Homo-oligomer: A and B are copies of this chain.
Amino acid sequence: MGGPELEQLIGLFSRLPGLGPRSARRIVLKLLRDKEGGLARLADAMQAAAAAVRSCTVCGNLDSSDPCAICAEPLREARICVVEGVADLWALERAHVYRGRYHILGSTLSALAGRGPEDLAIAPLLARLEAAPVEEIILALPATVEGAATAHYLTERLKRFGIPLSRLAQGVPIGGALEVLDEGTLATALRARGAAN
């Protein structure tokens, strides 16, 4: 319908995360309604990003400068928060509570999926710690089996540096209703309960 160019475009959009054929068609029709301001502008922005954005050689963050803006900030604290991906770094930055640096692993260990330590950016992390010691390493990994396995493995590998290691607290999310929480989170939150003052 609409010729090969249109079908190709809708097909590519429908494979993006969270989109399907219906939403892809809606988006493409909206973009075509204003070819200059919609379609061409977005295509230009994509090509500009493809040309400019690269992985930071220090921490793995995506940025148009290398080292990335965060690594280049002189006032960041000498802490490293280890995350799985760039989306996690962005989420932590939006929370405005952490003023340290980051390290992006790129993935988590998974025996099932065949992802071993060599598939993660662990060697660059060790190299960073050799080059400049830090006050603390925070493991902000997903609260999944793979995340826990990765945290466990990193704890072993980082032991020799003698740097304080911490991990994010687990419990009831803020605004979370107990009745919709899974049993695992509830059990963790109950076991880790603190004084009510």
Residues of the B chain whose Cβ atoms lie less than 8 Å from the Cβ of A12 = 41-42, 45
CB <8 Å contact, A39 and B28:
no
Q: Which of A25, A29, A49, A53: most chain B Cβ within 10 A? A: A49
Number of A residues contacting the other chain (C-beta, 8 Å)?
50
Number of copies: 2
User: Which chain B residues border A47 with CB–CB below 8 Å?
Assistant: 39-40, 43
Instruction: For chain A, residues 1 to 56, give those with C-beta under 8 angstroms from any C-beta of chain B.
Output: 1-6, 8-9, 12-13, 16-19, 23, 25-32, 35, 39-43, 45-53
From A74-82, A83-91, A184-192, the one touching the partner chain is: A83-91
The interface residues of chain A, by DSSP majority, are classed as helix
- Point out the residues of chain B lying under 8 angstroms from A135, CB to CB: none
A23-B31 in contact given A1-B90, A45-B12, A49-B9 (Cβ < 8 Å) = no
Of the residues B3, B26, B42, contact of A87 by C-beta under 8 Å: B26
A150 within 8 A of B: no
